[in-house]
Structure 1
Amino acid sequence: MSAVSPRVLILMLMASGAPSLRAADEAITTWNPLRLMAEKAGLRARIEEGARRLAAMPEARVVAQSHGRVGFHGRAAAPAWVVLDLGIVATPDEVVLLPARVSDPAPDDAVGGFPPDVKCLLSVSGAQGSFQTMQEWAEASGGAGVRLDLLRLRNSGALAGRFLRIEVSGGRLRGRSRFFSLGEVWVLKDGVNLALGAPVTSSASIDNPPRWTAANLTDGFIWCGGTTGTERSPKNGFHSRIESAPEAAPKWVEVVLNTPVSVEEVRLVPARPADFADVTGFGFPPEFQVLAWADDSPDEKPVVVFDTGGAGFANPGDATVCLPAHGVKTRRVRVVAGRLWRRTSDYIFALAEMQVMSAGRNAALGREVRFSDIVESASWTPGALVDGFGSQRELMEVPRWLDEMESRAALEAALLPARARLAMLEIAHQRLLWRGAQMLVLAALFGAAAAVVFILLHQRRARAELRARIARDLHDEIGSQLSHLALLAETGGSRAGEALREIASGARETQQAMRDLVWLLEPGSADPRDLHARLRGLCRQMLEPAIAEVTVECAGAPPARQLPLEWTRDVLLFVKEALGNCARHSRARRARVGMTWSPGFFEWSLHDDGVGFDEKSPAFQPGAGLRNLRQRAAFLKGAAVIESAPGAGACVRLRAPLPR
């Protein structure tokens, strides 16, 4: 099962109607940390045990289908149908539907097209009205079918028939139309796939060969390549002698059975060596024949089971090639490579495994292997062609693989509530931690505010007026921030993450305001050079997070004499108010700050190319910012000029006399 985020796991179960999770989520505030941690430990142990069991089960993975044949693509109808002619009347054990999946789906095909409603019917004659329902299936919730790795429909009524009809109702929405798709259909009887190579007709096929055709439903290619298990392969397979040209004398390899058997299917498993550059379909011949002899006599004429002819054969990559043999009596099965596979600058013939299926069993397992020539090494041997392994993993018989895949799906479904519950508990734990962090932040902020107040109360009586003005600033800047933070802490339960980010942002703003106030009280704050440096730093610090291009231009030199603390404070607060208004409201790309010291005067200006405003417009709603600027300029016995127009940016100028 692919990784799913905790919130998605919870939503998946809640959408399917899991009341216990809803009730538990509502009771989060009543949980104590010890109980929460104990429950989490129990869930982790259950999930880890499930993961160990899953690791021992086969896991189907989408392979790159380099052969180009993905499956069947059809229009949704009421209903659409597909009919397979099995060639014989049989009583199948089950019908298996496998989805059409690709390793590189288009964005609008990512959900897949497995049908939401399927009915399987059987008929001996195939005549209209003669079909009987074998089994039907409908997804329990919208979209559930697209997550299926396979669907098994068992013939519980032991119906017999030659013609299998698959009816599809509904479809998957793509754009304005509905469609469905299937990758392969297996009709199994005692482990034998009766559908392999069967002719297919349909009422709704959208053909786009070779990727989408009706014939792809019975070509043996499945989305996960083959029926592989978990055990690692000890060897790569069979490897012919290396040649310099692809048309070298035909190379062949054959399996000799103990006695002649009736063969339903020959399977060729492409090599993917573990000790070579990772190449799928390694050594698979682009042109080949599969020949069968009923005995070991050199004079007997072989039966041609399969022949690529002049058309060639697309490299199958990781996909097992399944070739119907139609019950031919066989003792020897040979694969003849008419044209060799190009490796780098040379040519070879290689296979990971050859399986000869008789009565649902691999009759070639462990049998004698003969060949025209061979390159033999530790990983390439004749016996590796019939050892029951591909180049990477063991090869499982279809019934066992189906049972294991079904068990895996059931276990994953059983683990889903535990995973969702654990994810919910993790979120609950985070909430508890966030609440604790909120209390610590608030305590720290209140402690810092109390320390500042304590310092101010012990200043000399000569600064009584300054203390009162600083107290007002504490109320305006820090008090409002603390009130906002407290409100976030009380109401942030359902959006704790967002609340905590706002608390952090507010804490930083409060910290900066406190730094400015503390700086004003330090002995060096009355030095105009310190004020000059601080104002330059504030311009970039406050504007650059919001405005792309910030320019600061300075002229003149600050006076060498000390300036009154009240004057320094009012200049600092004027500049901060102007910068803050620009950063919050201007939506500008460029801002230019000018600062000039001249004999007797200090001049400061801010120009931006933002949205601007019109103070005279009835729609304009002035805040405290413009009023504060003019008030600060009045305290400085100077003048503030504010110019702006909608769409033309804004300009703020301050000209203040230097105190004597």
Structure 2
Amino acid sequence: MPHVTARPEVRIAVAYLIVASVWIIWSDRILQSVMPGNSTFIQSFKGLNFVITTAILLFFTLRRAYRGWRRAEQEQVELLSEVSEAFRHLSTRVESLREADRTRISRELHDQLGQGLTGLKLDLRWIENRIEVREDRRLNPVTDRLVEAQDQVDSLIASVQRISTDLRPDALDNLGLPDALKEEGERFLLRTGVICNVRVDEASADIPAEVTTAAFRIFQEALTNITRHAEATRVDVGCGIQSDQLELVISDDGKGIDPAMIQDTKSLGLLGMRERAGLLGGELTIAPGENGGTVVEARLPLIRKES
């Protein structure tokens, strides 16, 4: 039969009963032998003795209980910290793999599909030239179809280039963050007609790759939110290095953001921007602008803080 250990509260109750009983009986006998005739004082002392004994035992009981609670709370805090750190490393790894996949797909689209479409366009042009040399009017419909096919190929090439750039801009890897931000601002202007003024400290070109990627993705998501919700006519972007941090500030002159939306857990875009900053040990703030609109500010440390 397995050994059954009494619960802590049972052991404490039994110990209290034994100690309190022995102490009260022993002290009463001593007092009665010293003062046998003073019954009123003896009764008062008995009550006071009981209160003092109970208070002392309660003190030690609570101290032991609170010590256990504090220890359990500390262990829980340490466990949560370890889990949080493991989750942060996992999220960083997942984001790195996702960015690597985007880069690979972007290059394959550009190098393989893009080049294949360009080769197809050249072949169609070669056929068109050969037909035109023959000067046979019966081939005019064929020539027209070839021209239409070339236009379709041009459209496909433009789509491939756009998708490739959306996945991973070449400027981000080849020219650095300043040129990538400016290029994205120009693409935003072409898509939306909204002026995007980008001012970048040239020193921002020499920063770690993960910081470059996070800053660029935050910029992309901010422009997406402006397009969808802000109804802005102008966007101003500032990027520079201050105190070993990359500071990226994006402000617009739109209708502003609802304060309730800033902490809305259903806003995946805002959550994604905060997550990108947090994975690098940085922070991201979103607030209404002084003169209207919305200001997004990201501060990303250039040197990762060790936990």
Is the structural similarity TM-score above 0.5?
A: no
User: What is the TM-score with the length of structure 1 in the denominator?
Assistant: 0.21
When you count strand as a share of all residues, which structure comes out higher?
1
TM-score scaled by length of structure 2: 0.43
